[in-house]
Every structure is written in C-alpha cells, then in structure tokens.
A and B are shown apart, each in its own frame.
Chain A
Amino acid sequence: GDSVTQMEGPVTLSEEAFLTINCTYTATGYPSLFWYVQYPGEGLQLLLKATKADDKGSNKGFEATYRKETTSFHLEKGSVQVSDSAVYFCALSPTGYALNFGKGTSLLVTP
C-alpha cells in the first residue's frame, strides 16, 4: 500500500542551523503529501501540505516540495530555533481523507 519513509532520528542541531528531514513516498497514484508536527505536550498539528507534483508547501519558515521524479517531500528550514524542537511526521493521503504517517523524526535544537 501507499506509504512514506522518513529519516530516523533523533536529529540534534544548534540554533540557526539548516534543517533537512528526508521523506520519500511510495504510491500508486498522486496523493497529497503532508508534514505534521507534535510539540512536547501538545497534539499533532498540520505544518504544511502539497497536493500535486512541484507544489511547494510552506509555513513558519519550513518548506517542502512535492517531487514526483524522486518521490520525495523533504522538509527544510534555513535557520532553526529552540522552539522548533518537536517530532515531525511525514504523511500521505491515498484515499483523500485517511493519513498514512511515517515513523516520525525527533528534532532537538540546542541554544
């Protein structure tokens, strides 16, 4: 079935470092792709999404581009902050409603 694979964590970065979290997908069609974030003690929330090839989702300085040729949706941020420390989940929606999530990548940003 349709699935995503994301890089294992934890990822530890210093404040202001560049962030990349890799995500690749396997799908029979062209599902929408998502990044969700779970901050410590909080619920899952949508960070950004892209609905078709070459779309770029962006929010809070994070970006991800839907790459059909490499079946990827890597998450990037140019300068991370301590407040970005969280668990990040890549997901796709083969049905248009149910989400298939990756295992999650824990990010710790140190001052």
Chain B
Amino acid sequence: GAGVSQSPSNKVTEKGKDVELRCDPISGHTALYWYRQSLGQGLEFLIYFQGNSAPDKSGLPSDRFSAERTGGSVSTLTIQRTQQEDSAVYLCASSITGTGYEQYFGPGTRLTVT
C-alpha cells in the first residue's frame, strides 16, 4: 500500500516568507508526527497528533511554527517569516496509534531559506 507522502519534496524560499509543508499519512493511521532533520541539531521532534486529542506541540522551536491536521488525515506544517536557521529536512511520520507502535516515515521536504 501507499506509504507516507510529503509535498513538496524540495522548497526554496526567501527569508521572511511563509511556507506550508504537507503530509499525507498512511490511510487508517490515527497518529501523525512531524520531525526536523538538520546538520546542526540532528533529528528533532516537533509536534504530535493523535486522533481528536489536543496535539503535543512541545517540540515546536518558536511561535513561527504551527501545524494542523484536518479531518484526522492530512497535516500541514506552516512556518511563518522563515529564517535561515529553518533550513532543514522536515519529516512526517504516522503510526496506527500513538503509543508503542512503529512510526512510518515519509521521504521528507527539504527546505532551503535563502
């Protein structure tokens, strides 16, 4: 079956612009995660959605970052007023449910802020 998909695969934006990154989880997976992979910080957890529960936003690095998940499926990560330090690969993952289940990762979106 289809895996986790993300779009776009690459995004180049100018400093100060807003960007939206999209994630389509595996059908039927109720849990969805966003991570960030950068050279300086490695892999960092950003945010977690589980069903209709309030998301765990504890990993978001600043209030310029936000995410939503519509209809319990597709998720969008928005970065406002992008900065050069936001350049990274943004990874989305999903799992059947939130606790103790394997997370399946998408291919990522490579964001470059110039």
**Interface residues, chain A, CB within 8 Å of chain B?**
32, 42-46, 49, 51, 89, 91, 95-104
Closest to A41 in B: B107
Residues of B within 8 Å of A, CB-based: how many?
27
Q: Interface on chain B toward A: helix, strand, loop, or mixed SS? A: strand
Q: Is the CB of B103 within 8 A of A96?
A: no
Q: Is the CB of A102 within 8 A of B59?
A: no
Q: Is the CB of B43 within 8 A of A45?
A: no
Assuming the contacts A32-B100, A51-B100, A104-B43, asked whether A97 and B31 have C-beta atoms less than 8 A apart, the reply is: yes
Residues of A within 8 Å of B95, CB to CB, are 97
Q: Interface on chain A toward B: helix, strand, loop, or mixed SS? A: loop
Residues of B within 8 Å of A46, CB to CB, are 102-103
Residues of A within 8 Å of B50, CB to CB, are 97
B48 interface residue, CB < 8 Å from A? yes
